[in-house]
Amino acid sequence: MNHLSSIIVFYDQSCGICRESKRIIEKRDHTGMITWLDIQDPDTLEKYPLLKGRNVQEAMHLLENNTYLYTGFAAVKRIVQLLPAGKWASLLFHLPGADQIGEKLYRVVARNRHTFSGATCDSGTCGIKR
């Protein structure tokens, strides 16, 4: 883990898109700065009480230095900014309308993540509460 900052991403291990995104990001995270924790693991929510009361099923959450909590598209943007190759890609986030488009796209993918990845939910814990 990077000694300058602590980055924890809370993600849905039961989601194929989420697992594949994690795999791709881990390949680019050469310093291992990001720690990934599964929201389906009861210990995760117990260890991080700041997540209680938040619907972690609706969006990925990123905790930086136990201080800053990013959710959804803001978490995606922060991950891109942190990765070495992401410095250039993060310039796209400054284009007019990028946040609005990114938020809408993120919500569609998050809401349909199990359908898009062809996964089924046998545990009953992976559905998004509406």
Task: Tell me if residue 37 falls in helix, strand or coil.
Answer: strand
**pLDDT of 12 above 60:** yes
Residues 93 and 99 sit within 8 Å (Cβ to Cβ):
yes
Please, which pLDDT band fits residue 118 given cuts at 50, 70 and 90? Answer: low
DSSP 98-125: HHHHHHHHHHHHHHTHHHHTT---SSS-
Average pLDDT of the chain to the nearest whole number:
85
35 within a domain of the structure (yes/no): yes
22 within a domain of the structure (yes/no): yes
Provide the pLDDT for residue 112. 85
Q: Of 25, 11, 33, which Cα lies nearest the Cα of 109? A: 11
Q: What's the mean pLDDT in 52-78?
A: 92
Give me the number of domains the chain comprises: 1
Number of alpha carbons in the 13 Å side-chain half-sphere of residue 82:
26
Indicate the pTM of the whole model. 0.81
Domain that holds residue 11: 7-116
Residues in CB range of 77: below 8 A, 6 or more apart:
70, 90, 93, 102
64 within a domain of the structure (yes/no): yes
92 within a domain of the structure (yes/no): yes
125 within a domain of the structure (yes/no): no
27 within a domain of the structure (yes/no): yes
129 within a domain of the structure (yes/no): no
